[in-house]
Amino acid sequence: MSKETREITVAELAAHVGGRVVGDRTILIRGLASVERAGKGEIAFIEDGKLLENALSSTASCLIVPEGAQIEATCIIEVKRPKLAFALIAELLHPLKRREAGIHPTAIVAASAKMGEGVFVGAWVEIGEGVSVGAGTQILSGVIIGDEVHIGRDSVIHPNVVLYDGISLGERVILHAGVIIGADGFGYVPDEKNVRHKFPQIGTVVIGDDVEIGACTCIDRGALGATSIGRATKIDNLVQIAHNVEIGERVVIAAQTGISGSTVIEDDAVIGGQVGLGDHARVESGAIIGSKAGILPGKIVRAGVWWGIPVQPLGEYKRINAHVNRLPQMREELKELRRQLKELQEKIDGTR
């Protein structure tokens, strides 16, 4: 979705992020950029001490810097967390474009659907029976919404999203293009001839407030209960979440991760890209799992940093990896020891 652009004074921006201005408070800011590329009318941030030297050559109209940073510039805003302040300022300078309320003439909306005030429905959207859409929600082109779906207020449903029957979205949910929510889970039961019969997939999906889900991610409905995503959780592109998975609040999951059925991920966990989680695993609050890690079925991952296949504490993973990297050297050393042993054996045999 395109964004609008505004101009705001440095003083207003500093007040918004709780920062202190040093320099000209009246400068107008209209955009954001990196410290290397920012120019007139733009604001940049510096958080890493190694980058402070870049401030000397920056042409940004204003810099956001850590409290107490010794920087000579026309204008700076001092804050505790510059990157966070930069993100908050971005929300002011580039708010999401809001389309005027209305339903496109090509959209098909069931008579029993309830549409809140200020809802936008784009071209070729289909909305089923008994759907409720909260005020201010934006449903963009090509979206398919099944029967008895609930969508909270001020949500954004990007093009070609599919919401199956009976699922529920909270308020301010963002679903990016191609997201599919509520498809059947992958569950089959073999008979005596190993013909696989589908286990019932008649549950639902419940997604909390302020959740954002990346493009082409799939979240399966529960088999008999619910697949649930907690408040303020952020899920990247191309993630697969299986039936009856429970994900807590403020969880972060990077791209191409696959989560098997009935896994539980507790509040505030962080999961890197391409992680694979076996069924009925549990990731406890405070756990950080590195990219490409593999979690076995039923495994409990406790608080701390974890990596590897199978997953293990980071310190242990580093030690094992260091040993593995030495294997070629150890092989040569072993060959040399064998040679020396052979020579020694030949000398012993020669003295008999």
- pLDDT tens string, the chain, 352 residues long: the values are 445 568 999 999 999 999 999 999 999 999 999 988 899 999 999 987 656 666 777 899 999 999 988 787 889 999 999 999 999 999 999 888 888 999 999 999 999 999 999 999 999 999 999 999 999 999 999 999 999 999 999 999 999 999 999 999 999 999 999 999 999 999 999 999 999 999 999 999 999 999 999 999 999 999 999 999 999 999 999 999 999 999 999 999 999 999 999 999 999 999 999 999 999 999 999 999 999 999 999 999 999 999 999 999 988 888 888 888 888 898 988 998 999 998 888 888 877 6
DSSP state of 223: S
How far is it, in rounded angstroms, from Cα 160 to Cα 102? Answer: 19
Q: Hey, what are 58's tokens?
A: 């920056």
DSSP states along 33-59 = --TTT--TTEEEE--SGGGGGGGGG--
| Together in a domain, 64 and 108 | no
Q: Mention every residue, 6+ apart, whose C-beta is less than 8 A from residue 60.
A: 33, 35, 38, 39, 42, 43, 44, 73
Asked whether the beta carbons of 211 and 152 are under 8 A apart, the reply is: no
Q: Hey, what are 35's tokens?
A: 């410290």
Q: How many CA atoms lie less than 13 Å away from 325 in the CB half-sphere?
A: 6
Q: Residue 233 CA to chain centroid, in angstroms? A: 8
| Together in a domain, 134 and 277 | yes
pLDDT at 95: 84
The answer to whether residue 206 sits within a structural domain is yes
The answer to whether residue 216 sits within a structural domain is yes
pLDDT at 282: 98
| Together in a domain, 264 and 175 | yes
| Together in a domain, 83 and 203 | no
How far is it, in rounded angstroms, from Cα 83 to Cα 51? Answer: 13
Residue 93: its H or E element: helix 82-93
Q: What is the CATH number of the domain that holds 202?
A: 2.160.10.10
| Together in a domain, 115 and 87 | no
pLDDT at 235: 98
The answer to whether residue 159 sits within a structural domain is yes
How far is it, in rounded angstroms, from Cα 88 to Cα 38? Answer: 18
The answer to whether residue 1 sits within a structural domain is no
Relative orientation angle of helices 314-325 and 327-350, to the nearest 10 degrees: 50
| Together in a domain, 327 and 284 | no
Q: Which residue, 42, 68, 93, sits at the end of a domain?
A: 93
Q: Mention every residue, 6+ apart, whose C-beta is less than 8 A from residue 349.
A: none
Number of compact structural domains in the chain: 3
The answer to whether residue 224 sits within a structural domain is yes
| Together in a domain, 208 and 334 | no
pLDDT at 2: 45
| Together in a domain, 282 and 295 | yes
| Together in a domain, 243 and 350 | no
What's 307-319 look like in SS3?
ECCCCEEHHHHHH
Looking up tokens 């302040």 gives: 85
The answer to whether residue 342 sits within a structural domain is yes
Full-model pTM: 0.87
| Together in a domain, 169 and 205 | yes
DSSP state of 183: E
The answer to whether residue 143 sits within a structural domain is yes
pLDDT at 74: 83
Annotation marks residue 243 as catalytic: yes
pLDDT at 68: 85
Residue 73, domain extent: 8-93
| Together in a domain, 26 and 137 | no
Q: Which residue, 32, 64, 93, sits at the end of a domain?
A: 93
pLDDT at 321: 81
Residue 179: its H or E element: none
How far is it, in rounded angstroms, from Cα 92 to Cα 96? Answer: 10
- Residue of 16, 243, 280, 323 marked catalytic: 243
Q: What is the CATH number of the domain that holds 85?
A: 3.40.1390.10
Helices then strands, counting H and E runs in the chain, come out as 4, 41
The answer to whether residue 3 sits within a structural domain is no
Q: Which residue, 71, 93, 115, sits at the end of a domain?
A: 93
The separation between the first and the last C-alpha atoms of the chain, rounded to the nearest angstrom, is: 89
| Together in a domain, 284 and 348 | no
